[in-house]
Amino acid sequence: MDARSTTLLIVGGGPGGYVAAIRAAQLGIATTLVEGDKLGGTCLNIGCIPSKALIHAAEQFEQACHYAQDTSRAEALRSPLGIQVESPRIDLAQTVRWKDGIVARLSGGVAALLKKNGVQVVKGWARVVDGKTVEVTGTGQDTLRIACEHLLLAPGSQAAALPALPFGGNVISSTEALAPPSLPKRLVVVGAGYIGLELGTAYRKLGAEVSVVEALERVLPAYDEELAKPVAASLRRLGVELHLGCTVLGLSAGGDAVRIRNAQGEESALPADRVLVAVGRRPRTEGWGLEGLMLDMNGRAVRIDDQCRTSMRNVWAIGDLTGEPMLAHRAMAQGEMVAELIAGGRRHFTPAAIPAVCFTDPEVVVVGRTPGEAAQAGLDCINAVFPFAANGRALTLEAGEGFVRVVARRDNHLILGWQAVGRGVSELSTAFGQSIEMGARLEDIAGTIHAHPTLGEAVQEAALRALGHALHV
Amino acid sequence: MGLHVIKMPDIGEGIAEVELVAWHVKPGDMVIEDQILADVMTDKATVEIPSPVVGKVAALGGEIGQVMAVGSELIRIEVEGVGNVKASPAAATPVAAATHTAAIQAEAVLAAAARQAAESAVRERPAAASAQPAPAAVAQAAPREKPIASPAVRRRAWDLGIELQFVPGSGTAGRITHEDLDAFAARRPGLGTGAARYAERHEEEAVPVIGLRRKIAQKMQEAKRRIPHFTYVEEIDVTEVEALRAQLNAKFGAERGRITLLPLLARAIVLAVRDVPQVNARYDDEQGVLTRYGAVHIGIATQTDAGLMVPVLRHAEARDLWASAAEIARLAAAARSGKAAREELSGSTITITSLGALGGIVSTPVINHPEVAIVGVNRMVERPMMRAGAVVPRLMMNLSSSFDHRVVDGAVGAEFVQALRGLLECPATLFVE
């Protein structure tokens, strides 16, 4: 068995692990990163990036189809832009190749950054022996034993399975849904959270018939109702069937339908030649020796403090392993902080807000507290909404749907949260996050000149409206 | 009476389990603070677990030889006052103690905690009044509201070791600015802006001993293992030889190059070994042969970035001062730039080691195996010396020389060093063949 030693050993090369590795190496810490699959983790290979590529392709195709349908209609119903297209087609294999190209480029970029900064990357699957020793197998050579002073656990998460619908055959997770060999005729999506809706929408736009089954009574149950409403309306407009308040019983005997039961107890079957189960993700806690460390847990996740320390000294955990919110940008920020702590810095993971974005159509952004959360925390707040219907740029983009909402304290106008729903609002998350982290008040945003004509004007107008003097509503 | 439970501590070796190897107490025993309760063993060390409290042992958590998880219950001790078992969540850390003084302290801690709880309750009341008493709201009641500060200000505060909730904010809505932080830091003695406090450092760096460093290590080990060294130190009055050197450099420095003490010492060695040939030799101890040389190939120990190297001034006996000086300079440059050839780094018959200004007063040089002698040059310094009944300033320098005692007797080594001394103290003799 080969043996080597390092100061910091990172298990997992996802966004948390690789950022921690780069930062640690920049700070002069001898760093080894162990990754069994591809660098970039779920985010880069089977999550954020490929899903956004697929969504973009689906959107472009749907747009073209939309114009094509218009030409067959009466003059008055045709595309107001005057664009005419005839029978568009999509080569799905090419779409997947294009997406894979982007992923390969980014993954190569991560490898280059690690190399440039002097991180030792070990290819193979890590198995934790104890808090200072890890064995790596699957490299094609001998088992490699690595001793370390600091162990950073960043193994990420995996798609949660439903006991009634185990993965396999036509029942797929988001991973397989992002590399479809062909387009299913009928897709049933189980779970109306952001993953199910993003992919369901993309498949619908690519031409599949899509039904969504959700146990709760509305789509995006993790978000507040006003934000979910425009998304639900858009799904209906696109022709996605919604089966809300329904429980999944399993596949039909023939395997070509999903049996469900609604709130009234009536059973029915939804024909499907593919079933996407998107009912959440679970921290990856099994199969790599985590149990041997006997760390304190927080449900299924590893318990950490505000410095990402676990219950064992010099064993750190970041990202999805540590539970919700399972977001790449949270893992990256944690990874950077852990590297600086190991280098002797004093840091805490206490962000004022962690933005969350759904790339549905329309997009949804939530940063900081919603009015409901503020009220629950006992804070006396005001909130104001500015609709994109009153924003010039939104109308020129045919995106007059949705709104921006701000939540601020009533006494000193400190901004506590922003929410938005609408086309392209994901990019507003930057402004939202900055204003909250900087401790901006409504007056700060109202007093900042926002460029015209942009969607961002709705941000300023929401602040003005909260102050009682909106100009354009 | 309360129960104080001591859990198996994390002994920081990254392991989750340790073996219980000895109990020093049994149920019913009275224990005092810091008394050793048990020994636990990891694969690296045995660690003693002391008692943090005074009390009576109620129960032991494991048998000798049992492997126990870190965090599992090790021992239960009955203590006066409240233990740590039924403690409220606010005082979950083991603060309870049992001596009278400790009990008082514990009471004070508890009182403080209660006061704090009461205060936070008062603070939270107006806000909480409108909301239902949701469990989430209760959990959040303990910490005060977060101070408003930008990420950059928060980061600087951590670096400075300042808790932001104590810093008055001058910005809108009490926002803390960089200036507020500066002002607060300036008011705290011993905490200048940007100055961090002393911190423990735990980094370790494993440097592989490879290449030249491994060679050096092997050679030193070999020399010290095989050769019984003896070191002989003598004081040399170098006033005259230094005066001569200054004179030569003033007169010929421009055209022939400046000379250091080394070529003069090399010349002294060339002459001294004619009287004491035993030291200009190589000893093959496996064959049992000592080879004396007519030639004087002087190794010059040279510090390089890669480590110690010993380029060789070949046939020193055939070079005048300037030729020696030029050759020594060339060899040193070649060694430092890594361009010295193999034959320039081997074949010496005796070695000089000189650290120049770092020479110190005495050194114990290690012989360059298989040679039998090495001459170490110590620092040159002006000292008050007695000469003809008067104290006069003289330039003095020690030579620390080591010899292989198997083939060089003490008297022979001394004779050699005294010969060097004679030559250096009367430099005219250096030029008499």
Cβ–Cβ contact B130 with A under 8 A: yes
Both tokens of B3, joined, read 């129960």
For residue B123, what is the nearest residue in chain A, using CA coordinates?
Answer: A378
Both tokens of A77, joined, read 């119903």
The answer to whether the Cβ–Cβ distance between B124 and A414 falls below 8 Å is no
Longest pairwise C-alpha distance within chain B? 110
Is the pLDDT confidence value at B89 over 50? no
Strands B55-60 and B67-69: unpaired
pLDDT at res. A394: 94
Residues facing residue A315 across a β-bridge: A151
Judge whether B376 and B339 are in contact, CB under 8 Å.
no
Of all residues in chain A, the percent with pLDDT exceeding 90 is: 86
Q: Report how far Cα A394 is from the mean position of its chain's Cα atoms.
A: 24
Cβ–Cβ contact A129 with B under 8 A: no
Judge whether B121 and B133 are in contact, CB under 8 Å.
no
More confident: B382 or B120: B382
pLDDT at res. A77: 54
Q: Cβ–Cβ contacts within 10 Å for residue A189, how many?
A: 32
Is the pLDDT confidence value at A139 over 70? no
Domains of chain B: 2-108 (2.40.50.100), 146-196 (4.10.320.10), 211-431 (3.30.559.10)
Rg of chain A taking only CA atoms, in angstroms: 24
Question: What interhelical angle do A225-238 and A194-206 show, nearest 10?
Answer: 20
The three-class DSSP label of residue A209 is: strand
CATH no., domain A2-45+99-159+282-342: 3.50.50.60
The closest CB to that of A346, out of B14, B161, B205, belongs to B161
Q: Report how far Cα B386 is from the mean position of its chain's Cα atoms.
A: 41
pLDDT at res. B48: 84
Is the pLDDT confidence value at A281 over 80? yes
CA distance A290 to chain B (A): 11
Q: Cβ–Cβ contacts within 10 Å for residue B63, how many?
A: 9
Is the pLDDT confidence value at B106 over 80? no
A vs B: CB pairs below 8 A: 96
pLDDT band at A298 (very low <50, low <70, confident <90, very high): very high
| Nearest CA-CA partner of A122 in A28, A3, A290, A23 | A3
Cβ–Cβ contact A4 with B under 8 A: no
pLDDT average, residue stretch A149-176: 94
| Nearest CA-CA partner of B418 in B286, B276, B322 | B276
Both tokens of A366, joined, read 């939530």
For residue B68, what is the nearest residue in chain A, using CA coordinates?
Answer: A294
Residues of chain A with CATH 3.50.50.60: 2-45+99-159+282-342, 171-279
The closest CB to that of B14, out of A130, A380, A438, belongs to A130
Is the pLDDT confidence value at B193 over 50? no
Query: A294 contacts in B (CB within 8 Å)?
Result: 16-17, 69-71
Distances (CA, A) of A205 to A209, A273, A275, A357, B304: 9, 17, 17, 20, 70
pLDDT average, residue stretch B293-320: 92
Q: What is the pLDDT of residues B14-52, one digit of tens each?
A: 778 888 888 999 888 888 888 889 888 876 677 888 888
More confident: B94 or A124: A124
Judge whether B176 and B153 are in contact, CB under 8 Å.
yes
Angle at A370 between CA A364 and CA A372, to 5 degrees: 130
pLDDT band at B341 (very low <50, low <70, confident <90, very high): confident
Helices (H) and strands (E) in chain A, counts: 13, 24
pLDDT at res. B189: 63
Is the pLDDT confidence value at A301 over 90? yes
Cβ–Cβ contact A315 with B under 8 A: yes
The answer to whether the Cβ–Cβ distance between B149 and A414 falls below 8 Å is no
Please give the single-letter amino acid code of residue B17. Answer: E
Both tokens of A246, joined, read 């329904």
Q: Cβ–Cβ contacts within 10 Å for residue B103, how many?
A: 17
What is the DSSP track for B294-341?
A: SS--EEEEEEETTEEE--EETTGGG--HHHHHHHHHHHHHHHHTT---
Q: Cβ–Cβ contacts within 10 Å for residue A66, how many?
A: 14
Distances (CA, A) of A336 to A17, A26, A59, A236: 9, 11, 35, 42
Q: Report how far Cα A124 is from the mean position of its chain's Cα atoms.
A: 26
Is the pLDDT confidence value at B144 over 80? no
Q: Which residues fall within 8 angstroms of residue B279, CB to CB, at 6 or more apart?
A: B273, B350, B372, B373, B403, B408, B412, B413, B416
Place of tokens 């959270």: A193
Q: Which of A66, A348, A452, A472 is catalytic?
A: A452
pLDDT at res. B14: 76
pLDDT at res. B391: 96
The answer to whether the Cβ–Cβ distance between A375 and B12 falls below 8 Å is no
pLDDT average, residue stretch B374-385: 95
Judge whether A278 and A191 are in contact, CB under 8 Å.
yes
pLDDT at res. B306: 82
Give the ipTM of the model, two decimals please.
0.73
Average the pLDDT over each of A341-355, B19-33, B121-135, B228-242 and give the range with the smallest value.
Answer: B121-135
CA distance A134 to chain B (A): 11
The closest CB to that of A151, out of B14, B127, B202, belongs to B14
Is the pLDDT confidence value at A79 over 90? no
For residue B200, what is the nearest residue in chain A, using CA coordinates?
Answer: A344
pLDDT at res. A472: 85
- DSSP 8-state class, residue A46: I
pLDDT average, residue stretch B264-280: 95
Please provide the average confidence, as pLDDT, over all residues in chain A.
93
The answer to whether the Cβ–Cβ distance between B146 and A345 falls below 8 Å is no
Residues of chain A with CATH 3.30.390.30: 356-466
Question: What interhelical angle do A48-72 and A92-116 show, nearest 10?
Answer: 150
Distances (CA, A) of B55 to A447, B101, B106, B109: 66, 14, 15, 19
| Nearest CA-CA partner of A16 in A434, A321, A342, A365 | A321
pLDDT band at B174 (very low <50, low <70, confident <90, very high): confident
Residues facing residue A258 across a β-bridge: A251, A270
Both tokens of A408, joined, read 């601020």
pLDDT at res. B136: 38
pLDDT at res. B124: 42
pLDDT band at B96 (very low <50, low <70, confident <90, very high): very low
**Measured between alpha carbons, how far is A451 from B357 in angstroms, rounded to an integer?**
68
How much of chain B is helix, strand and coil, in % rounded to 5? 40, 25, 35
Query: B149 contacts in A (CB within 8 Å)?
Result: 439
- DSSP 8-state class, residue B107: H
**Measured between alpha carbons, how far is A390 from A456 in angstroms, rounded to an integer?**
12
Is the pLDDT confidence value at A43 over 70? yes
CA quadruple B198, B203, B206, B212: dihedral sign: negative
The three-class DSSP label of residue A316 is: strand
| Nearest CA-CA partner of B25 in B47, B56, B53, B3 | B56
Judge whether A279 and A158 are in contact, CB under 8 Å.
no
Q: Cβ–Cβ contacts within 10 Å for residue A351, how many?
A: 17
| Nearest CA-CA partner of A236 in A217, A214, A215, A211 | A211
B180 is catalytic: no
Both tokens of B288, joined, read 């049992």
Judge whether A45 and A139 are in contact, CB under 8 Å.
no
pLDDT at res. A67: 82
Is the pLDDT confidence value at B105 over 70? no
CATH of A356-466, one of 3.40.50.10420, 3.30.390.30, 3.90.180.10, 2.40.37.10: 3.30.390.30
**Measured between alpha carbons, how far is A253 from A395 in angstroms, rounded to an integer?**
49
The answer to whether the Cβ–Cβ distance between A345 and B159 falls below 8 Å is yes
Please provide the average confidence, as pLDDT, over all residues in chain B.
82
Q: Which of B24, B178, B229, B405 is catalytic?
A: B405
Give buried/exposed letters for B292-326 (b at 16+ CB in 10 A, else e).
ebeebbbbbbbbbeeebbbbbbbbbbebebbebbe
Query: A443 contacts in B (CB within 8 Å)?
Result: 172
Cβ–Cβ contact B158 with A under 8 A: yes
Q: Which residues fall within 8 angstroms of residue B44, CB to CB, at 6 or more apart?
A: B13
Q: Does the global pTM surpass 0.90? A: no
**Measured between alpha carbons, how far is B278 from B418 in angstroms, rounded to an integer?**
15
Cβ–Cβ contact B145 with A under 8 A: no
| Nearest CA-CA partner of A441 in A422, A467, A403 | A467
Q: Which residues fall within 8 angstroms of residue A443, CB to CB, at 6 or more apart?
A: A413, A463, A467, B172
- Give the architecture-level CATH label for domain A171-279: 3-Layer(bba) Sandwich (3.50)
pLDDT average, residue stretch B281-285: 93
